[in-house]
Structure 1
Amino acid sequence: MTDPQITLYRLQACPYCERVVRTLDRLGLEYRSRYVEPMHSERNVVKRVSGARSVPAIVDRNTGVTMSESANIVEYLEGTYEDAGAAGGA
């Protein structure tokens, strides 16, 4: 089995992170969770990959996209992957 191409940087019990998790699960996407430091000032791993310390943040190696902000991530995931599963059918 290969490593998941999507990495989600998240906090424990973060409602915005959970929104992204629900979207990933609904779309059937494999992903790796990386839990980050609760202290905003210590989230250097997130800052290195996304340029900001906010979570959730994702890195999608399939497309080369890195982004944060849950609404943007959900919109991106749905736009990129929602129709991918249905594309072979019609």
Structure 2
Amino acid sequence: MADITLYDLPGCPFCGMVRSKLDELDLEYDTIEVPRAHSERTEVEAVSGQTGVPVITDEKQGIEGMPESSDIVAYLEETYGENGA
């Protein structure tokens, strides 16, 4: 089990941006596919307080339920990019 978990919806371009950054940085991560209906996204809501995706958790860094693709990409680059970890 990886430290990073991505809450993902297939076909979501914002989720794709995060997946691309995770892959670019060669990070191991688990994916949890959320239902299409926001009303059924109880797991991601419990983690982040909202039903939108993408959302990541990073146990190693103590990140629980970070939303917003641009924030996630910036976090990953800062934490795990060349100038990070």
**Normalised by the shorter chain, which TM-score bucket?**
over 0.9
Gap runs ≥5 in structure 2: none
Please list the CA deviations of residues 8-65 of structure 1 after superposition, one character each: whole Å capped at 9, or x if unmatched.
Answer: 0010111000000000000010000100010011111001111111100000001011
| SS of alignment partner, residue 62 of structure 1 | helix
Gap runs ≥5 in structure 1: none
Aligned residues: 84
Root-mean-square deviation (Å)? 1.4
Question: Structure 1 residues 23, 71: CA separation in 2 closer, same or farther (over 3 Å shift)?
Answer: same
Point out 4+ residue stretches in structure 1 off by more than 3 angstroms: none
The percent of aligned pairs where both chains have the same amino acid is: 49
Q: Tell me how far 1:84 sits from its aligned partner.
A: 6.0
2:63 is equivalent to residue 61 of structure 1: no
Distance in 1 separating the partners of 2:82 and 2:53: 26
The higher radius of gyration belongs to: 1
Which one has the bigger helix percentage?
2
